[in-house]
Structure 1
């Protein structure tokens, strides 16, 4: 099939590679290079770099509002476009241009967690499972009918980083299989069970030790690696990146032993953390250079 691929971050790269191995990718669309690093030099997106490695044509329009860009898109004569975390809203004329429309890989079991941060929100909410859905795109926010889905359990110590990588691989396998079988029937999403995965606000990252241990543990895992749940240790902001529920109780914020901290109910053991200006480290390594006070805040 003639496929247009549209994506930007690391999550999209496995899908691009899987499709390119089995179909003709006539163009790759990605967000324009952005200033990054110490020198603030423009840096191509992960998808842009992967496409160049594969010898594919890359286009990086700022928007898709320009009539010339829309005409260029239509002129590719694609059978289908695959959209994976592209980062631009597609106007209806673009959605309608490919013969079979535009398909999206979404990292949730729709209609649960439509929107920007489905992996974070699934962990934060304590969901037992999540997955990926292949959706026929419409003008609404993740409202289109679903062609295929794959499920995975959310483990007791899974972080957003863990699920991100697992779902990216699952999505790549699922979209490749879906393209091989097109056209497929698309099942409308049920009207019940709709939830929205609003973008993570950095204000959500500070840990409140008065909350139950289950909530604190999910917050730590959901916000790892970015933006990173944090607490203050003697005035230093320390990010907590991995955790698990632990035995014990005490006043909220009380350090019970090692890096096990009492919460409003129960306790959480921090397994990995990151001090300011340092790399992420196992908790035992962090504690070799950091003395925890009796109470964290």
Structure 2
């Protein structure tokens, strides 16, 4: 099929590669414009931009799709379908209507649960038992369109957002190739009105750990925000990211270090239960497992975080 691909971050790259490998014609790749990055703050292409250029595909990165010129340029591509995954811009109705067979979105949740910007983070933070990927026909509402295909995967007790990100990206790539191959026979399934939840963008203010919360809740926060933006607390006056944690038995004052010995990972008392910190990162340092962290940065038992 003649396809316009629209995506920007690393999550979208396997989907782009799968479409190319399946033999589809990529009329153009749309992505976010290059952003300042690195010490020199020079504009740097994003992951999809870089991969599309490496594949020899035409790339477009408009700041907006609301102008008449941008919409006319999109329509002139005469695509049969647009495949959209984590693009980052709202598609106006004129863009949604331009492809002959519409726009298909790959969304990383089991709709209607977790519509919106941060479905992977929110599923882990909420303690969901499973998540998945939906192939959805796009319409003007936020992730409200009918679903063509869906596939689920369990959320393991140790899964972080990084783990699910990679798993769901690969799943979405496989599912969209299958959906395009079966497009004539797929029946759109309207989303039910019950069970709708919204995955709001992660606010950095959510990332600071409140040790008065239960250990299980804090553990889900840590896993849900790992690796970015990273849950954090202050240890010895230094800000430390918490990238891995697991609930364990233990009691003490919230934030009290129950075990800070260099032989194992630090254990911190919570409002209910305790949490073993299995992976930590000090500012300007590489991430370390808990035991390695304590060897270089001892935290005495009884310290309050």
Sort the TM-score into its range (normalised by shorter chain).
over 0.9
Match runs of 1:42-191 below 5 Å: 42-183=43-184, 184-191=186-193
- Counterpart of 1:212 (choices 211, 214, 223) is 214
Distance 2:247 2:178 in 1: 38
The residue that corresponds to 1:283 in the other structure is 290
State the secondary structure of the residue aligned to 2:247. Answer: strand
Structure 1 residue 254: Cα displacement: 1.6
Distance 2:151 2:221 in 1: 25
Question: Is the contact between residue 231 and residue 296 of structure 1 (CA under 8 Å) also seen in structure 2?
Answer: no
The TM-score with structure 1 as length reference comes to 0.98
Structure 1 residue 296: Cα displacement: 3.4
The residue that corresponds to 2:39 in the other structure is 38
Structure 1 217/101 Cα, relative in aligned 2: closer, same or farther at 3 Å?
A: same
Distance 1:199 1:148 in 2: 25
Question: Is the contact between residue 232 and residue 296 of structure 1 (CA under 8 Å) also seen in structure 2?
Answer: no
The residue that corresponds to 1:235 in the other structure is 237
Distance 2:66 2:111 in 1: 28
State the secondary structure of the residue aligned to 1:61. Answer: coil
Which blocks of at least 5 consecutive residues in structure 2 are unaligned?
260-264
The residue that corresponds to 1:15 in the other structure is 15
Distance 1:52 1:60 in 2: 12
Question: Is the contact between residue 132 and residue 150 of structure 1 (CA under 8 Å) also seen in structure 2?
Answer: yes
Structure 1 residue 292: Cα displacement: 1.2
Question: Aligned pair count?
Answer: 297
